[in-house]
Amino acid sequence: MEKFIDSPMVKSLCNITNVMYNKGWDERNGGNISWIIDDDKVAPFLDGFTGNTRNIALPFTVEALAQRYLLVTGTGKYFKNIKADPQDTLGLIQIAADGKSYDILWGFVNGAHATSELPTHLMNHIQRLAVDENHRVIMHCHATHTIAMTFAHELDEKALTKTLWKMCTECLVVFPDGIGVIPWVVPGTEEIGQLTAEKMTYCRSVLWPFHGVFGAGQDLDETFGLIETIEKAAEVYTYVQAQGGTKQEISDEQLSALAQGFNVEPKAGYLEVGVK
Ligand code: 2HA
Ligand code: ZN
């Protein structure tokens, strides 16, 4: 497995975590990513692999992900350091056949293991795979303006989604499914995982108030792009508020025309079109 460090997967994860760090979204050990890697992408690196690994127990059974490979960020590791030292900060894990533990096949060379949010990630991978077989990535970070908005804006999902849709024209096209919002919960718990996974039945992004954002997607770029677009809209919202608030806005009719033009389906019941 030594050559896995040169794989396109490790390179992509190094690059994206570096971009996220430079955006200020991952101070200290903030943020975590897990990426389901298809078997055919791991197979070339398994040649001569002895099966000599560390095994880590999971707090609950994840049979739905049995034997799947995931490339994950490590607990306590800093996004700042991933690019310079991927084999310390990242790990390729494989969920055991009984779903009760995982093996570390590559990485975490200094004794670390997967992110403290792994249980939450696994629950959400299972949920997203149930609605989209091409789902692969879970990404969490502390996007600054998005966190700020959870103090300044009401935490109603519909109201918050619509505010963001109206901050930049293309938001509706990027997240027509809207944004989920859960109550404040202690991070790293099964509770935060379950509450987030309930939202992930119908949307790919969930806000954790006063903490950050949790996103899902089919690949790293798409998931990053989703969070980047939410954060951009939240940044515009910050400036609009600082400049004294909204004097004019994109109407629901205009959002509806946008959805038709881009062939996306806005979350049902969110747009009031033709309502007097
Ligand atoms: O990885 O961001 O939510 C540290 C965190 C926990
Ligand atoms: Zn966090």
Residue set of the binding site: 140, 142, 211
Question: 250 and 121, same structural domain?
Answer: yes
Question: 167 and 66, same structural domain?
Answer: no
Question: 183 and 79, same structural domain?
Answer: no
Question: 196 and 103, same structural domain?
Answer: no
186: how many CB neighbours lie within 10 A of its CB? 8
What residues make up the domain containing 209? Answer: 117-276
Asked whether 176 lines ligand 1 (CB < 6 A), one says no
- Quick one: three-class SS letters along 26-69? CCCCCCEEEEEECHHHHHHHCCCCCCCCEEEECCCCCHHHCCCE
**In the predicted model, is pLDDT for residue 239 greater than 80?**
yes
pLDDT for position 49: 85
pLDDT confidence bin for 61, thresholds 50/70/90: very high
String of DSSP letters for 81-137: HHTT-HHHHEEEEEE-TTSSEEEEEEE-TTS--B-TTHHHHHHHHHHHHHH-TT--E
Question: 239 and 228, same structural domain?
Answer: yes
**In the predicted model, is pLDDT for residue 51 greater than 90?**
no
pLDDT for position 207: 98
**In the predicted model, is pLDDT for residue 276 greater than 70?**
no
Residue pLDDT, tens place only, 219-236 = 999 999 999 999 999 999
Question: 146 and 73, same structural domain?
Answer: no
Question: 245 and 198, same structural domain?
Answer: yes
Q: How many domains does the chain have?
A: 2
Residue ending a domain, among 115, 139, 174, is 115
Question: 86 and 175, same structural domain?
Answer: no
Question: 137 and 12, same structural domain?
Answer: no
Residue whose Cα lies nearest atom 3 of ligand 1: it is: 187
pLDDT for position 200: 98
Residue pLDDT, tens place only, 164-215 = 999 999 999 999 999 999 999 999 999 999 999 999 999 999 999 999 999 9
Residue pLDDT, tens place only, 9-35 = 999 999 999 999 999 999 999 999 999
pLDDT for position 275: 56
Question: 126 and 74, same structural domain?
Answer: no
Residue pLDDT, tens place only, 84-140 = 999 999 999 999 999 999 999 999 999 999 999 999 999 999 999 999 999 999 999
Ligand nearest to the CA of 188: 1
Residue set of the binding site for Zn(2+): 140, 142, 211
Residue ending a domain, among 85, 115, 145, is 115
Residue 161's CATH number: 3.40.225.10
* Entry pTM: 0.97
Residue ending a domain, among 62, 87, 115, is 115
Question: 268 and 152, same structural domain?
Answer: yes
Ligand 1: atom nearest CA of 76 is 1
Q: Which residues are the active-site residues?
A: 117
Question: 65 and 159, same structural domain?
Answer: no
